[in-house]
Chains A and B, each alone.
Chain A
């Protein structure tokens, strides 16, 4: 069996384990629904105050909400273990991972698919479907949506990996570091033009969580560059993935087991 086959088998068996717990399935789906509904409610509060944000109307903003939900859901389905790196280091489980005869980063990432990812993917598709229908998307835009979502998942997970390497070098409680990235990602639900230039620049170039939905949105709705809309998301995804790999390998070189 090739290395890819091992990843797939591990992923499949973990997913089957998750679906064994039916109450978890229901509550996880409900939890992800709330995760997506809550910011919509807070946006509704804003929408009662101003008719649009930086020229983006509610349906166009829903496009941003949808792509973030889709990217997050795909990340939770395919790469979620990055959230547990701190805990694995604390409990000594990280050592076990290092003994596996496969590349540690992809194997680590794919072996924790989450049930709530289904809810986030569903919410993302529903929001994108509604936005696309209301905005009369041309036929060729529809296949680009999952592509942008996949780029977003790689970017988001890549940044999470980079931040999680802190926990490999400096063992501790763990989850808070990832929450920092999630907070930044939540901001990209809104058009980046509402933030000061420095924040916009950071969210596009330093932590490019805005590259896969804001730039395509700018192209589709506000006459932005089609080159940026089409090429920036995969370019940012590739750059983030490379950075994540480099950071992971460097962190492993500085890793000390909990017993030391």
Chain B
């Protein structure tokens, strides 16, 4: 009990400091959001062109597609973490040694710090969703209590999956001097298979199979399906179980990987 309360207290302090740090550069969240909007706008225009020029239209209706892409944009923006850059620079400069002295597990520590990104981005994403609610003909969220509750659970699990993925890829910083390779491996695989570009329903069978075999679809596609009401709360239960399994598996893999690395590496100067 004492240990749990220590973790909670330390986590709260780390989280609030991280929020303060992020807010000091708040204007860059807006530039980041603008970047996401540019990507969203271009993707949307591309799909609308395809929809208008395909005989019989797409398997997903025009307005449904717009609502999906809007919700996928908000989820993707909310869940984008700066963990790669923060943690990898601390690993490379040896500052990670200081982190290891803190009275909290390394993995949980960076989880609390990452939550700062998510909370700030979620607030901005919520504003975008409210605007989308009034502008779009198909609403990007189904406002029914049970559906919303399931969506919220799915979103929390998506955060855990996203953190697990980022953490594992960031461990590559122990072996590299420059983060581009690992960062792009993660980012581009995620961009392709998370469902942020299009609902996986529009993917050819082979690519859809790859997407479902990887954890990335649990980050954007699964919560988007639930949020839009494309799956009922009952149908969502196996999807939530899948998200939970990926989150637990990735967290355990991250912990094992980190322990393995610690056993083999010495911190600079140590």
Contacts and interface: CB of A to CB of B under 8 A. Distances in A.
A21 B50 CA distance: 44
A42 interface: yes
B9 to A, nearest CB: 29
Nearest to B47: A46
Interface stretch (A123-131, A194-202, A221-229, A241-249): A194-202
A231 interface: no
A106 interface: no
B176 A187 contact: no
Given A42-B197, A44-B204, A180-B31, A31 B38 contact: no
Nearest to B193: A41
Interface stretch (A47-55, A64-72, A97-105, A145-153): A47-55
Contact of A48 (B176, B189, B204): B204
Given A24-B178, A31-B184, A31-B185, A190 B28 contact: no
B35 A38 contact: no
A257 interface: no
Which of under 10, 10 to 19, 20 to 34, or 35 or more describes the interface residues of B? 35 or more
Contacts of B45: 194-196, 199
B184 A116 contact: yes
A176 B35 contact: yes
Contacts, number: 114
Interface in B46-90: 46, 49-50, 53-54, 58, 85
A54 B202 CA distance: 20
A31 B192 contact: no
A49 B58 contact: yes
Contact of A173 (B28, B46, B181, B182): B28
A176 B30 CA distance: 9
B34 A28 contact: no
A148 B173 CA distance: 36
Contacts of A239: none
Interface in A142-195: 170, 172-177, 179-180, 183-184, 186-187, 190, 194-195
Contact of A35 (B27, B176, B184): B184
B204 A115 contact: no
A115 B176 CA distance: 13
B194 to A, nearest CB: 11
A26 B38 CA distance: 31
Contacts of B172: 27
A114 B207 CA distance: 31
Nearest to A25: B181
Contacts of B178: 18, 21, 24, 28, 115
A45 B191 CA distance: 13
B265 interface: no
Interface of A: 18, 21, 23-24, 26-32, 34-35, 37-38, 41-42, 44-46, 48-50, 53-54, 114-116, 170, 172-177, 179-180, 183-184, 186-187, 190, 194-196, 199
Interface of B: 25, 27-28, 31-32, 34-35, 38-39, 42, 45-46, 49-50, 53-54, 58, 85, 172, 175-178, 180-185, 188-189, 191-192, 197-198, 202-204, 207
29 contacts: A18-B178, A21-B176, A24-B178, A27-B180, A27-B182, A27-B185, A28-B180, A31-B181, A31-B182, A31-B184, A31-B188, A35-B184, A38-B188, A38-B189, A38-B191, A42-B198, A44-B204, A44-B207, A45-B197, A48-B204, A173-B28, A176-B32, A180-B35, A183-B38, A184-B38, A190-B46, A195-B46, A195-B49, A199-B42
